[in-house]
Amino acid sequence: MAMEIISSQMKRVQLFEVVGRVDSTNASELGAAMDQAADEGRNYIVLDLGGVEYMSSAGLREMVRVLKRVKRSGGDLRIANPSERVREVLELAGLDSIFEIYPTQVEAVGSF
């Protein structure tokens, strides 16, 4: 399965639900979707990774890039619901201390 991104504009937060596989062939699409929100001044972003079965470092790279960008504008990129495997990879890269990670989408959205 390839990757699917479902984007929803909420009151304060731009929510992206990602489904499938994020790797070097499609990570830039995910980055571009988040960039578009940031371009429109929507810098409070939640990335729901609940549907992500696999993510390589290409996906992490885009997440870190967008996090840096939105933080410069006073925003944040927060992660919801990563699988055990994806969470392990975030921890290995030390990203669990850089991203705010929430067990559920509701908590991540509500954190803003």
Which of these ranges, 5-13, 33-41, 90-98, 102-110, lies near another protein under the rule CB under 8 A? 90-98
* Residues numbered 41-80 forming contacts with another protein, rule: CB under 8 A: 54, 56-58, 60-61, 64-65, 67-68, 71
Kindly tell me the burial class for residue 1, based on how many C-beta atoms sit within 10 Å of its own C-beta (0-12, 13-18, 19 or more).
exposed
Strand 14-22, strand 44-55: pairing: parallel
How far from 45 is each of 1, 48, 85, 95, 111, CA to CA, in Å?
Answer: 25, 10, 22, 16, 11
- 93, 103, 106, 110: which one binds another protein (CB under 8 A): 93
We find the least distance from the C-beta atom of residue 57 to another protein, in angstroms, to be 4
CA neighbor of 18 nearest in space, from 68, 57, 54, 42: 54
Tell me how many residues contact another protein (CB under 8 A).
25
Considering only residues 2 through 41, tell me which ones interact with another protein, judged by CB under 8 A. 21, 23-25
Taking the least distance from each CB to another protein, the nearer of 95 and 105 is: 95
For residue 13, give the DSSP letter: -
Q: Which residues bind another protein (CB under 8 A)?
A: 21, 23-25, 54, 56-58, 60-61, 64-65, 67-68, 71, 85, 88-89, 91-95, 97-98
